[in-house]
Structure 1
């Protein structure tokens, strides 16, 4: 009992000696990394440990997609710094995924436009797609349009396979 008590007393007195004094101690694991320092990194410096191209992932082109059958609704909602264009379409069958609004214009080439035209496109799975009610086949996609892109635009139009909808200012 006397040996255990002596060992506990010695360790209890020695442990604060390893504590955080102003200079720090090399024996205290909490002081091993020290305080953080601000460093500048050259912009062209990259991490050599992160590969630029994965050996396991194949490069594939961006899927073009299939136009949605009908455009059911189109709305523009104001947002900070621009607007959100939201389109709802109807798919002919189930199994649609990756729904997106694809721009059919190029602002750098075309310059200021009067009409912004988008297509509502999606991808379909290869599995069998049973018939389903309309509510379960509705698809919604949205895109943010900045104030700079909206400058001078009078009409925004979204097209599908069978119809198109547009909104005006």
Structure 2
């Protein structure tokens, strides 16, 4: 009878080490033959997708101004393109940032790019030159008072020039 109790006791002790609060300890027989190596990095194997915007810069920025709002200011930037037909114009941050969060660089300057999609070469608008009086491109970016507190200046880059606006 004693010989049948010993193997039974060993099996019970072996199973007790597999679960509960001792599952990560050396008592767990599943870990006796070497622990599984943790991954070297948390980055995906294929790497992170590029989050940068691939739209080209607007050729010439003509001006920038602040407009007051209830919760901060509205940055309004005007630009001029050589031809008509630019679309999807926007102000984006120069370095990728999380959606809905805008923060300046370490020197207090918020660096933005004014980008847009030029007309396709076969589009009739691509052959028409833009007129200064009627074909200005305008983009705006709202900034809250909390965001403005950390910003000392805004630098807007186009394809041909840079405009700096101080607070």
Q: What is the TM-score of this pair, normalised by structure 2?
A: 0.57
1:132, distance to aligned residue in structure 2 (A): 3.3
Displaced runs of 4 or more, over 4 A: 107-113
Aligned length: 109
1:103, distance to aligned residue in structure 2 (A): 1.3
- Residues 126-165 of structure 1: per-residue CA shift (max 9 Å, x gap): 1141223223331000010111211121111111111111
Q: How does 1:81-160 map to 2 (within 5 A)?
A: 81-105=71-95, 106=97, 114-126=108-120, 127-128=123-124, 129=126, 130-160=128-158
Q: RMSD of aligned C-alpha atoms?
A: 2.5
Q: Does 1:78 align with 2:68?
A: yes
Contiguous gaps of at least 5 residues in structure 1: 1-60
Contiguous gaps of at least 5 residues in structure 2: 1-50
Q: What is the TM-score of this pair, normalised by structure 1?
A: 0.56
Question: Contact (CA 8 Å) 1:101, 1:118: kept in 2 or not?
Answer: yes
1:110, distance to aligned residue in structure 2 (A): 6.8
Matched residue SS, 1:66: coil
Report the equivalent of 1:66: 56
